[in-house]
Amino acid sequence: QTLFSSLSELIDCPIKVYFTIDTSETIALQESPPGSLVESIKEFTKIFTEKLADEEYRGQIQITWSIGGLHFSQTQKVFSHFTTRENFIRSLSRIRYLGKGTYIDCALRNMTQQVTQHYYSGPKAALFSVVITDGHVTGSPCMGIKMMADRARDQGIHIFSVAASRSIDELGMRDIASSPTEVYRDNYIVMEVVGGKPRLSTESIDQIIKVMKYQAYLQCYKPTCLAVPGIPGRKGSSGPKGAKGDRGKTGQKGEKGRQGDPGIEGPIGRPGLKVVSADVTQIHFGNFQGKMGRIGVPGCKGDLGDKVRWIFFIQKYFYIMFIVPVFDAKLNKIITIGYMGDMHSFEKGLACFELMQLFNPQQGTAGHPGDPGPRGDPGSLGPKGDKGRTGFGYPGPRGPSGSTGERGNKGPRGSRGECGAKGEPGDNGPEGEPSLSCVCAGWSGTHRRSWAHCIQSVYCEKHCGALDIVFVIDSSESVGLMNFTLEKNFVINTINRMGSMASDPASPTGTRVGVVQFSHEGTFEAIRLDDPTITSISAFKMAVKNLQWIAGGTFTPSALRFAYDNLIKGSKRSRAKISVVVVTDGRFDPRDDDNQLRYLCNDPDVTVNAIGVGDMFDKRHDSETLVSIACNNKSRITEMKQYTDLVAEDFIEKMETVLCPDPVIKCPDLPCKTELDVAPCVGRPVDLVILLDGSERLGMENFNQVRNFVESVTHKLAMAKGKNDRNWARLALIQFGKEEENQVAFPLTHDRDAIASGLASLTYLDSSSAVGPAIIYTINNLVGKGSTRKTRRGAEVSFVFVTDGVTNGTILDEAVSAMHREQIVSTVIATGSDVDQEVLTKLAMDNQEAIFKVQKFSDVLQTRMFNRFIRWVC
């Protein structure tokens, strides 16, 4: 009892708690209405704070709380310095979210500064920060979360990492938390969903407070070592005669215990960052260097030492395991005592167990019995007490960071650059012989399909007329870096299809392009329509690629106004069409002025197309916003689920038609000009055979569309001019039914009359079908071989199947092999929704691109689909 009596006074234990709250855009706009999740966080913090009552803890420490806080996005705003809970709650209620991007590392830096800046003369406080965030960052300008969390830790701050909701980046959350993460992260959450309903998680609050108190206790309550006096000598026995001897003198105090062993080595230092070159980030793990541990606490003063050689302990959260090897001099061996329990009972227990066991007091010898005469001598000194027990050290602080790594290796070679721009035309050469063939670099005879394409791309140019296109793309935090890159690629891919750019931004014709990327007010960045340095597609692409993700708030309405006032208004060309393409996730910061969403609608020369993409938390975008942006014309709205759909070939193609509906293809004056025509399938012979599935599955309605289809094809393809024309297209049509039931409507011909009369006499078989035998029949009879060859020399023979693939599969594989042998090119128009994909794939000779799927056959005739079909066939 006496041993602990001096501990009964309460030790002052102040605790400082600092809330660090993320109010960036991803948090603020996560729930609707905007800002509602921030309000929930405020409520959570309020409940939290209300539970922080001053109290006596474990009968040993007196806890007093002070509370402060900041909220942050890209900047930080201190809303309360350390104060009482009442003051804190008042300041808390005044928080309005910041919006914009998230720099957690800067917030941690500022938090550390706020927590440690005030000189404080009382007992050392236990320091905590509760960081509430989603762990998503848009940048790390303050050296990164890990580095800043470490710094806070070095200043003695323990950081709890609390998720605002379930939408989090768990890795980011863990980087924030102090170690061990099981204690400081522990899935703490503000809003959890229970039974489909959101509610504040008071369990998280209670658990955090529990940990805080305990940690504070460990910090404030240090067991005091006491000196234990040696046992006094025995009283001397009385002498026969002499006076009673004096009592023996109290034994000498034992020596001071020896200094404790150094603490265990600190954790390894943080690896150095390798210097990076050429875009390739490599982390080099520097040599770890732990620092020496702190010198141990001095051992107990007193009399019990000498036998206890050393104490070593391992601390594991809450439970502490002690292994105490003790050298017993009397037994002349080491005895080991293990102990497990919490810190509190250990400290008490340690003081007792030791020591009772090993303490081996010797008494002073008895005083001489006194004769009646002289007084007895005083008893001799009691023996020296044992040496105090050795103190024990705590783990030392973390060692310094490893040294910076070596410079990284050179990055891998970049991919081959794009082709350079066309060179200046050379001087006129001497006039040569007129030639009938055009040279097309890269064209090889085995790929006949590429010939027409090559001729067009090398010699011809597409022109969209006087056209200004302005892209307005969302560069806010909620879009994310990857999606922002997709937006840029969308701009580039679309422009790739717009043909040649205006050679001079001031010229009255030609296409000009501008881009506005936007986030919050004041961050808009533009590539202007009349930028004099942008005269080629590659210059424009480079400018787009150089746009950096802004990662702030979403101020869509202001961005539209900016686009109009800065790009369009001042640089209008007479007779030029202006198309604006706005890409956004539909939501914007409600602090922006939504009247300006329709800012572009007041100018009749401007057409606005709005593209809405599902946002980062996968909620549906706000369609109303899109409707306003598109000036209430719903057919100018495209909604898509994900950003990758922006760069899908189909969508780019659609944009091409929307932005440049009537292109003019201009081909230069070439010696072979007569062969060059804007119509497809030019300059080469193409023999096209249509194989129509006449089974009942086709249906009368589809059958009746066959005439329209063939007419459209003859109209669109440039047909050969006569029997002996070695170029252009010819057409044949065969309807196939059961084996042997093949009906040739017309064989390969250039003659429109023959085609018309063939179609007129065609009747629907309406039976079942077998495509394999039909192919063989067609090859033998319509294509022919050797001397009976019906196709023209060098002609590309192209089969167009109209079928759903549900057909007798007999000899299909042989038939497809025969098509390969004859170098026949295949196209499949698949009708209906119940198709046999395997058969279709075989017919398309394994080329999925060659399969055109439509509900009803007439769908092929829709402009977009039909153009794609013709482009493919040619």
Ligand X SMILES: *[C@@H]1O[C@H](CO)[C@@H](O)[C@H](O)[C@H]1NC(C)=O
Are 398 and 154 contacting, i.e. CB atoms less than 8 angstroms apart?
yes
Min dist CB 648 to ligand X, Å, is: 12
Q: Helical H runs in 639-719?
A: 649-659, 700-716
Give the 3-state secondary structure of residue 341: strand
Query: What span, in angstroms and rounded, lies between the C-alpha atoms of 793 and 462?
Result: 31
Query: What span, in angstroms and rounded, lies between the C-alpha atoms of 819 and 144?
Result: 62
658 phi/psi in degrees, rounded to 5:
-65, -45
Nearest CB to ligand X, comparing residues 749 and 807: 807
Are 133 and 173 contacting, i.e. CB atoms less than 8 angstroms apart?
yes
Nearest CB to ligand X, comparing residues 618 and 753: 618
Q: Which string of DSSP letters, residue by residue, matches 597-612? A: GGGGGG-TTEEEEEEE
Nearest CB to ligand X, comparing residues 777 and 857: 777
Asked if residue 602 binds ligand X (CB under 6 A), the reply is no
Binder of ligand X out of 183, 320, 770, 851 (CB under 6 A): 770
Give the 3-state secondary structure of residue 576: coil
Give the 3-state secondary structure of residue 823: coil
Other C-beta atoms within 10 Å of 834: how many?
A: 9
Query: What span, in angstroms and rounded, lies between the C-alpha atoms of 354 and 350?
Result: 6
Nearest CB to ligand X, comparing residues 60 and 768: 768
Nearest CB to ligand X, comparing residues 507 and 810: 810
Query: What span, in angstroms and rounded, lies between the C-alpha atoms of 328 and 257?
Result: 16
Asked if residue 810 binds ligand X (CB under 6 A), the reply is yes
Nearest CB to ligand X, comparing residues 227 and 835: 835
DSSP assigned state of 770: B
Min dist CB 630 to ligand X, Å, is: 8
End-to-end CA distance of the chain: 102
Asked if residue 613 binds ligand X (CB under 6 A), the reply is yes
How would you classify the pairing of strands 312-316 and 577-584? unpaired
Asked if residue 113 binds ligand X (CB under 6 A), the reply is yes
How would you classify the pairing of strands 525-527 and 511-518? antiparallel
Asked if residue 642 binds ligand X (CB under 6 A), the reply is yes
Binder of ligand X out of 34, 248, 480, 758 (CB under 6 A): 480
Give the 3-state secondary structure of residue 355: helix
Determine the interface stretch with ligand X among 70-78, 149-157, 359-367, 741-749 (rule: CB under 6 A).
Answer: 70-78
Min dist CB 91 to ligand X, Å, is: 13
Asked if residue 636 binds ligand X (CB under 6 A), the reply is yes
Beta carbons within 8 Å of 115's beta carbon, 6+ residues apart: 16, 18, 68, 127, 129, 152, 155, 157
Asked if residue 482 binds ligand X (CB under 6 A), the reply is yes
Asked if residue 346 binds ligand X (CB under 6 A), the reply is no
Binding flags for ligand X, 17-56, as an x/- string (CB under 6 A): ----------------------------------------
Asked if residue 633 binds ligand X (CB under 6 A), the reply is yes
Beta carbons within 8 Å of 39's beta carbon, 6+ residues apart: none
Nearest CB to ligand X, comparing residues 141 and 180: 141
Determine the interface stretch with ligand X among 81-89, 542-550, 610-618, 659-667 (rule: CB under 6 A).
Answer: 610-618
Hey, which residues between 359 and 378 contact ligand X (CB under 6 A)?
none
Asked if residue 767 binds ligand X (CB under 6 A), the reply is no
Query: What span, in angstroms and rounded, lies between the C-alpha atoms of 547 and 583?
Result: 15
Min dist CB 715 to ligand X, Å, is: 24
Alpha-carbon distances of 541 from 85, 463, 495, 645, 861, rounded to whole Å: 56, 18, 9, 20, 35
Question: How would you write 624-635 as a 3-class SS string?
Answer: HHHHHHCCCCHH
Determine the interface stretch with ligand X among 106-114, 199-207, 354-362, 824-832 (rule: CB under 6 A).
Answer: 106-114
Nearest CB to ligand X, comparing residues 287 and 548: 548
Nearest CB to ligand X, comparing residues 110 and 742: 110
Nearest CB to ligand X, comparing residues 456 and 807: 807
Strand partners, 314: 321
Q: What angle do CA 74, 78, 82 make, to 5 degrees?
A: 145
- Relative orientation angle of helices 36-50 and 202-220, to the nearest 10 degrees: 40
Min dist CB 488 to ligand X, Å, is: 14
Query: What span, in angstroms and rounded, lies between the C-alpha atoms of 548 and 541?
Result: 14
Are 294 and 393 contacting, i.e. CB atoms less than 8 angstroms apart?
yes
Nearest CB to ligand X, comparing residues 103 and 184: 103
Nearest CB to ligand X, comparing residues 84 and 810: 810
Residue nearest to ligand X (CB): 480
Min dist CB 698 to ligand X, Å, is: 17
Is 22 exposed, middle or buried (CB count within 10 Å of its CB: 0-12, 13-18, 19+)?
buried
Asked if residue 635 binds ligand X (CB under 6 A), the reply is yes
Are 534 and 545 contacting, i.e. CB atoms less than 8 angstroms apart?
no
Alpha-carbon distances of 203 from 173, 183, 200, rounded to whole Å: 18, 14, 9
Nearest CB to ligand X, comparing residues 613 and 782: 613
Binding flags for ligand X, 530-559, as an x/- string (CB under 6 A): ------------------------------
Nearest CB to ligand X, comparing residues 457 and 810: 810
Beta carbons within 8 Å of 201's beta carbon, 6+ residues apart: 44, 188, 189, 190, 191, 192
Beta carbons within 8 Å of 583's beta carbon, 6+ residues apart: 471, 472, 473, 474, 487, 490, 611, 613, 646
Min dist CB 842 to ligand X, Å, is: 16
Hey, which residues between 74 and 93 contact ligand X (CB under 6 A)?
76-78
DSSP assigned state of 779: I
Asked if residue 643 binds ligand X (CB under 6 A), the reply is yes
> Rounded to an integer, what is the distance from CA 394 to the centroid of its chain?
40
Binder of ligand X out of 341, 614, 663, 699 (CB under 6 A): 614
Binder of ligand X out of 495, 616, 690, 824 (CB under 6 A): 616
In the numeric block, the tokens 């590392």 are attached to 105
Asked if residue 282 binds ligand X (CB under 6 A), the reply is no
Nearest CB to ligand X, comparing residues 110 and 390: 110
In the numeric block, the tokens 């003198």 are attached to 249
Nearest CB to ligand X, comparing residues 106 and 597: 106
Determine the interface stretch with ligand X among 89-97, 393-401, 410-418, 477-485 (rule: CB under 6 A).
Answer: 477-485
Asked if residue 571 binds ligand X (CB under 6 A), the reply is no
Give the 3-state secondary structure of residue 837: helix
Asked if residue 131 binds ligand X (CB under 6 A), the reply is no
Nearest CB to ligand X, comparing residues 618 and 834: 618
Nearest CB to ligand X, comparing residues 473 and 501: 473
Binding flags for ligand X, 706-745, as an x/- string (CB under 6 A): ---------------------------------x------
Determine the interface stretch with ligand X among 39-47, 226-234, 478-486, 533-541 (rule: CB under 6 A).
Answer: 478-486
Min dist CB 773 to ligand X, Å, is: 7
Determine the interface stretch with ligand X among 13-21, 71-79, 148-156, 270-278 (rule: CB under 6 A).
Answer: 71-79
Query: What span, in angstroms and rounded, lies between the C-alpha atoms of 650 and 638?
Result: 13
Min dist CB 523 to ligand X, Å, is: 18
Binder of ligand X out of 40, 45, 73, 110 (CB under 6 A): 110
Min dist CB 662 to ligand X, Å, is: 13
DSSP assigned state of 292: P
Asked if residue 109 binds ligand X (CB under 6 A), the reply is yes
- Binding positions for ligand X, rule: CB under 6 A: 76-78, 109-110, 113, 480, 482-483, 613-614, 616, 618, 633, 635-636, 642-643, 739, 770, 808, 810
